[in-house]
């Protein structure tokens, strides 16, 4: 994203026989089907996020730059008024934050759906504009999400590097009841992201990759546990190179999925 000041998922027995039992009771034929108990346990292991709802917010949108009037419209985020949205940042060779977040978000959505979660993204493509930051929060609220995550890439000075997670503060507003859960979500994602990607904690903002803010509409207006993650600095040559690699973007998505699962299965 732009610099911090601007930024705004019957127990049968296998092996039965056709012969009767010793007391003459006919034995239950072995159909080869798993017992209900075994099947339920197996399904639970394969789909640990069944019943969970996750909202993924891919930061910005690929067509925002064509709609400057619309995205510059001011919206109320309770602590101040801010632009509806921004264009986001890019690598020095033109790989946009909007494209990066769209790709990572769809990879993450597939992983979470594969584990049984219901997933909704806040935008349907990377060619339109918006939605506004207040609408992005409203999508998570309306879905009654168990967790929401907004995915970004930062646009800091080239020498700065590393990732950080942004969590809400209490503001006397709708986010207050979920600040504690958001912080737990943030720490789970921080740990999984660090371990999975090998990216360092941010060298330029936050403490141990954790940052708390009250000036982001997507957090202030959320009534569900929500965090932002700045996956790294797109203006840093090393991190930009890694973000351009599809394999590494898959690693990012897998790491985020592990963090979300850790939070959703231990609430």
* Secondary structure of 174-185 in HEC code, one letter for each residue: CCHHHHHHHHHH
**Residue 230 known to be catalytic:** yes
- Ramachandran area for residue 246 (φ above 0: left; ψ -120 to 50: alpha; else beta): alpha
- pLDDT, tens digit (0-9, with 9 covering 90-100), for 54-102: 999 999 999 999 999 999 999 999 999 999 999 999 999 999 999 999 9
What's the pTM value of the predicted model, to 2 decimals? 0.85
CA distance 75 to 244: 33
Active-site annotation holder among 43, 70, 97, 230:
230
Q: pLDDT-based confidence at 41, cuts 50/70/90?
A: low
Cβ neighbours for 202, distance < 8 A, ≥ 6 positions apart = 160, 161, 162, 163, 164, 209, 211, 230
Q: Which residues contact 78 (CB under 8 A, 6 or more apart)?
A: 171, 173, 220, 221
Specify the pLDDT at position 46.
82
More confident residue, 188 or 31: 188
Band the pLDDT of 34: cuts 50, 70, 90.
very low
pLDDT > 80? residue 168: yes
Please report the pLDDT score of residue 14 as a whole number: 32
Tell me the CA distances in angstroms from 176 to 9, 109, 190, one per residue in order. Answer: 21, 27, 21
């Amino acid at each position: 994203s732009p610099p911090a000041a601007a930024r705004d998922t019957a127990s049968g027995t296998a092996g039965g026989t056709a012969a009767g039992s010793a007391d003459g009771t006919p034995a239950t034929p072995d159909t080869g089907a798993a017992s209900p108990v075994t099947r339920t346990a197996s399904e639970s292991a394969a789909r640990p996020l069944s019943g969970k709802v996750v909202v993924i917010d891919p930061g910005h949108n690929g067509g925002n730059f064509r709609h400057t009037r619309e995205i510059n419209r001011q919206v109320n985020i309770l602590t101040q008024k801010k632009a509806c949205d921004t264009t986001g940042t890019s690598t020095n060779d033109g790989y946009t934050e909007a494209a990066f977040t769209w790709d990572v978000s769809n990879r993450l959505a597939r992983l979470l759906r594969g584990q049984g979660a219901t997933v909704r993204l806040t935008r349907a493509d990377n060619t339109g504009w918006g939605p506004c930051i207040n609408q992005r929060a409203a999508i998570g609220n309306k879905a009654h999400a168990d967790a929401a995550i907004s995915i970004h890439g930062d646009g800091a000075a080239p020498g700065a590097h590393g990732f950080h997670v942004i969590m809400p503060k209490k503001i006397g507003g709708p986010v207050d009841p979920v600040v504690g859960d958001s912080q737990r979500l943030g720490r789970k994602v921080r740990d999984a992201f660090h371990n999975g990607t090998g990216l360092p904690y941010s060298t330029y903002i936050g403490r141990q990759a954790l940052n708390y803010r009250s000036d982001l509409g997507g957090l202030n207006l959320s009534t569900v546990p929500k965090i932002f993650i700045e996956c790294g600095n797109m203006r840093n040559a090393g991190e930009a190179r890694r973000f351009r690699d599809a394999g590494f973007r898959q690693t990012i998505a897998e790491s985020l999925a592990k963090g979300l699962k850790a939070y959703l299965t231990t609430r």
